[in-house]
Amino acid sequence: MAPTTEPSWGAGRGRMSSADVVKLARLVCSKHIPEDELRAALAFGPGAFGYGGPEAELFVLSVADGLGPRARFAEEHVGGRRVSLIAVDRKLFRGDVARGLLGEMLADKLLLPYVPVEGADYLAKIEISLKKRLALELLMDVANRFPTMAQEILLDARYFLYEVIYRMGRIMPMAAYPFANLLARPADRRLHEPRMLKGFLRGLRELEAEGLVARANGFFRATGKLVRKAKRQRLLGMFLRLKGPIRGLSKYAVRALSDMAKPYVSERRAFLERFGPRAGANPLSALPRPDDFLLLRTSIGVRPALREVAFEEIARLIGRLEGPDDVELREIGGTVNLVYLVTVRSTSGAARLIVKYFKDWHTLKWLSLRLWALGAKRFAISGTERLKREYTMCRELGELGFPVPRIFHVDLRARCLVEEFIEGVNFSELLRRSFLGEENPGRVARLAREAGRLLARIHKVGIGVGDYKPENLIVGYNGRLNLVDLEQAARGGDEAWDVAEFLYYSGHYVPSVSTADVFEQVAGAFLEGYLDAGGSPEAIRKAPSIKFARVFSVFTPPQVIEAINELCGRF
């Protein structure tokens, strides 16, 4: 067809309309693919959406029957507009969508906005299939990266989009330019994100129907079924998954890569024209970080789960601080964790936070403790597991109205947790002073009774504390007991262990040369409070058992052990 008789397809006049794009794409397809073999076609790229300038090339991907195992390429100049056609066999296209047969160099067109030319229903169906597969793989990857926290992590749907983009961009950097052109600017994201997310949302709904995903306040989270599936399969993420397809692609790519790469080259050119040469170094840097869409619930709202803590930001959120900030960190102990008291001061006040870094317990000290407790108590050793317990138990108990610290921030990568600093006096200090005659014994007995009632209430909701010693009870300035350090807490824990630990740890403050009279008053008040609030008499009867006594006898005076046996035997 002579150029003088062809209509002008928008060349030199800006973006073509969708109708013109469809007409032009159909014309080019008709020249190279018999009508009865064409199953679907789509137009994509700068020429289809107008962001590459008036001379931008139009790219068309067609899916047909009978083309064999190789993609075909053609270039046409129609009415002043250059059009590049990529024609692939339907089976080849389906293989790339279903398992990355060509490294998803064809399937990635379905991740972008496109103009349906033929077979719109087919394209919509296969797009959902692709995005469902990718969403499942990413969910499984999250479950393998954070097995203990997978069911707590909330995923914004945008995580799936941007994590796919980042992984593809790391493997083949040129593949990032199409996405950067459409998503680099906030206004572009508002325009294109909803359309690009639509297929992911449809796929996630199908995964929800299969019991692999649950929705929570507009977010998604892995279910126990998915976590178990991930544990079985042990997927290592999309990078390893793509290594096989890319190796299989290598011989094919020698012949076809230059043609397959043409759309990416065009996208890079458009990107540089729009954002300047300096922006071309790394197009991923212009996009939101996927990790910012992995979230956890906290007392100050939903926050990124992999972001480094910003103390000033948290202090403002909880204390409404204004003006310049001064941050002071002070290590406050923590035998098994790194624990800091952080004070953020400004011209309008101060806020205090507790920051914990959860270490794994691999030292001889804790190995010895495990041997002592063999047959008595199973400790959570992993730092990640203990962080998960502290986070989940503080959140669950807090939501039920129990006096526990509020969680403000979690960084899963650093195994760091930021929580509320509870102002007050440690109950263990009051006990010590009471046994030395320096504290009102009536006050201490009243607090011990409250400690018993608090423990019973926690047991009644099905949670064992696991570390219910006086050191983990803070008497607030309002006189109320607060429970801290819940990293050993769990649903279905051993109630008798909690009772025994409180009694034996309380008793070890009794001087070895003293009688157990004052201790008996404290312990009796604790047990009475525990029973009054509905605690289990069986837990009290089991507390002085040999399996517990052998753990605590190392540091508990004999007269206290005898008193515990006598007191618990009354119930």
Predicted TM-score of the model (pTM): 0.83
What is the token pair recorded at 1?
Answer: 């067809």
Is the pLDDT assigned to residue 496 strictly greater than 70? yes
**The predicted structure's pLDDT at residue 351:** 82
**The predicted structure's pLDDT at residue 83:** 93
Angstrom distance (rounded) from CA 136 to CA 126: 15
Q: How confident is the model at residue 514 (pLDDT cuts 50, 70, 90)?
A: confident
Is the pLDDT assigned to residue 186 strictly greater than 50? yes
pLDDT digits (tens, 9 = 90+) for 550-570: 878 778 888 988 999 999 988
Q: How confident is the model at residue 248 (pLDDT cuts 50, 70, 90)?
A: very low
Report strand pairing: 81-89 vs 213-216.
Answer: unpaired
Better-predicted residue by pLDDT, 359 or 440: 440
Q: How many residues does the chain have?
A: 571
**The predicted structure's pLDDT at residue 287:** 93
| Per-residue 3-state assignment (H helix, E strand, C coil) for 314-374 | HHHHHHCCCCCCEEEEEECCCCCEEEEEEEEEECCEEEEEEEEEECCCCCHHHHHHHHHCC
Is the pLDDT assigned to residue 426 strictly greater than 60? yes
Q: What are the Cα distances from residue 443, in Å, to 65, 82, 453, 479?
A: 86, 88, 15, 10
Better-predicted residue by pLDDT, 80 or 36: 36
Is the pLDDT assigned to residue 1 strictly greater than 70? no
- CA angle, corner 192, sides to 187 and 194, nearest 5? 110
Is the pLDDT assigned to residue 257 strictly greater than 60? no
**The predicted structure's pLDDT at residue 336:** 67
Residue/partner pairs of 362-370 with CB below 8 Å, 24 or more apart: 365/335, 366/336
Place of tokens 């076809």: 256
Amino acid (one-letter) located at 380: A
Q: How confident is the model at residue 315 (pLDDT cuts 50, 70, 90)?
A: confident
Q: How confident is the model at residue 5 (pLDDT cuts 50, 70, 90)?
A: very low
Angstrom distance (rounded) from CA 483 to CA 454: 9
Angstrom distance (rounded) from CA 222 to CA 210: 12
**The predicted structure's pLDDT at residue 278:** 63
Is the pLDDT assigned to residue 239 strictly greater than 70? no
Q: What are the Cα distances from residue 172, in Å, to 8, 165, 167, 239, 281?
A: 36, 10, 9, 11, 14
Angstrom distance (rounded) from CA 39 to CA 42: 11
Bridge partners of 74, per DSSP, are 85
pLDDT digits (tens, 9 = 90+) for 371-420: 455 556 667 778 899 999 999 999 999 999 999 999 999 999 999 999 99
Better-predicted residue by pLDDT, 114 or 315: 114
Count other Cβ atoms within 10 Å, centred on residue 138: 21
Q: How confident is the model at residue 350 (pLDDT cuts 50, 70, 90)?
A: confident
| Per-residue 3-state assignment (H helix, E strand, C coil) for 74-115 | EEEEECCEEEEEEEEEHHHHHHHHHHCCCCCCCHHHHCCCCE
Is the pLDDT assigned to residue 345 strictly greater than 50? yes
**The predicted structure's pLDDT at residue 234:** 64
Is the pLDDT assigned to residue 192 strictly greater than 70? yes
Residue-averaged pLDDT of the chain: 86
Is the pLDDT assigned to residue 243 strictly greater than 80? no
**Closest by CA position to 314, among listed 212, 446, 382, 416:** 416
Helical H segments across 404-509, by residue range: 427-435, 441-460, 495-507
pLDDT digits (tens, 9 = 90+) for 115-160: 999 999 999 999 999 999 999 999 999 999 999 999 999 999 999 9
**The predicted structure's pLDDT at residue 402:** 97
Q: How confident is the model at residue 227 (pLDDT cuts 50, 70, 90)?
A: very high
Angstrom distance (rounded) from CA 541 to CA 550: 16
73-77, 85-89, 192-196, 325-329: least confident range: 325-329
Give percent of the chain above pLDDT 90: 58
DSSP letters for 414-431: TTEEEEE---SEEHHHHH
